[in-house]
């Protein structure tokens, strides 16, 4: 498989961003685990069962990471796909659950969800991944040094802080999408969010348009859905108000506040104005969606 460096994300093989189990912390164990992940990725990339992956001139490139997955891009000719493979420390089955959550969310919220297209597993070695469409040089929304902004892949990977106006609109839009995506038929909300670490992305080019809710919502996508939280809409909104107005970051499970259900690992709070505007916008989007469904 041909390798070619392209400005898509963090310049790395992904090795140093692995989160491993205590039994894998030795140098040789880490190397073996990384090679196992690469072999699994290559097997999926060369699978005869995935029509989109048939072709020549394939390239596999690491672009990003999180607590749950390592993120790679597979290029097949002139087409690109994202492969999200479970971190070695991630319990087997967690990646499949997120795949299923995103598939369900995408049925009624496709405009704001990156909907996965395939799930693959190597059960014997406890490895799993899912495949999604790829948005070229998309910007991950997050927090760096407690400031909200985006990670930009090009010309070199870097963090860019939001202006106060950009932050207000973008943060409120993330809250709005969480409210919009609430499933009131089954009383399920999106849980275990990590908005400070890349759960949402913005399409490249958003900065060239006027900073409005309408323009941002057209270009904003949710790419993670770790948990479906059983809760009423009223309770969900109240939890959003409570949790996003404070810092909830933790380093170890021992430090984790288990009462925090939605805003996990929040490195910096949102303003009350951002939260309330987002909730109001979310309700508005729900009403708009309901009327469209009645037509």
pLDDT in tens, 117-126: 999 999 999 9
pLDDT in tens, 208-243: 999 999 999 999 999 999 999 999 999 999 999 999
Residue limits of CATH 3.30.200.20 in the chain: 15-133
Checking 110-114 for CB contacts under 8 A at 24+ apart, the result is 111/218, 112/177, 112/180, 112/181, 112/217, 112/220, 112/221, 112/222, 113/181, 113/221, 113/222, 114/82, 114/201, 114/221, 114/222, 114/223
This prediction has a pTM of 0.94
Look at residue 239 in the predicted model and tell me its pLDDT: 98
Look at residue 132 in the predicted model and tell me its pLDDT: 98
Look at residue 260 in the predicted model and tell me its pLDDT: 95
Give the CA dihedral 6, 7, 10, 14, nearest 10 degrees.
Answer: -10
Look at residue 294 in the predicted model and tell me its pLDDT: 58
Q: Reply yes or no: is the peptide bond before residue 68 cis, omega within 30 of 0.
A: no
Look at residue 2 in the predicted model and tell me its pLDDT: 46
Strand segments (E) across 145-224: 147-152, 158-161, 188-191, 197-202, 220-222
CB 153 within 8 A of CB 7: yes
All residue ranges of the chain with pLDDT < 50 are 2-3
Architecture category of domain 15-133 in CATH = 2-Layer Sandwich (3.30)
């Amino acid at each position: 498989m041909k390798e070619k460096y392209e400005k898509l994300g963090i310049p790395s093989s992904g090795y140093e961003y692995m989160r491993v189990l205590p039994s894998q912390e030795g140098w040789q164990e880490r190397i073996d685990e990384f090679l196992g992940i690469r072999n699994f990725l290559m097997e999926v990339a060369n699978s005869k069962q995935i029509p989109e992956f048939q072709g020549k001139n394939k390239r596999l490139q690491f672009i990003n990471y999180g607590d749950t997955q390592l993120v790679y891009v597979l290029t097949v000719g002139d087409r690109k796909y994202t492969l999200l493979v479970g971190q070695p420390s991630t319990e087997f089955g967690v990646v499949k659950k997120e795949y299923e959550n995103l598939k369900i969310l995408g049925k009624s919220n496709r405009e704001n969800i990156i909907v996965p297209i395939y799930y693959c597993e190597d059960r014997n070695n406890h490895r799993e991944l899912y495949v999604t469409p790829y948005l070229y040089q998309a910007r991950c929304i997050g927090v760096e040094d407690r400031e909200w902004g985006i990670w930009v892949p090009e010309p070199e990977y870097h963090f860019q802080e939001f202006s106060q106006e950009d932050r207000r609109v973008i943060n409120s839009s993330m809250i709005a999408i969480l409210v919009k995506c609430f499933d009131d038929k089954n009383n399920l909300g999106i849980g275990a969010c990590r908005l400070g670490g890349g759960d949402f992305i913005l399409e490249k080019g958003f900065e060239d348009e006027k900073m409005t809710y309408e323009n941002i919502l057209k270009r904003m996508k949710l790419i993670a859905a770790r948990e479906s939280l059983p809760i009423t809409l009223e309770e969900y909104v109240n939890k959003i108000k409570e949790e996003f107005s404070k810092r909830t970051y933790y380093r170890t499970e021992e430090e984790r506040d288990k009462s925090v259900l939605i805003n996990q690992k929040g490195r910096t709070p949102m303003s009350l104005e951002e939260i309330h505007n987002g909730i109001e916008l979310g309700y508005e989007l729900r009403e708009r969606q309901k009327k469209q469904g009645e037509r």
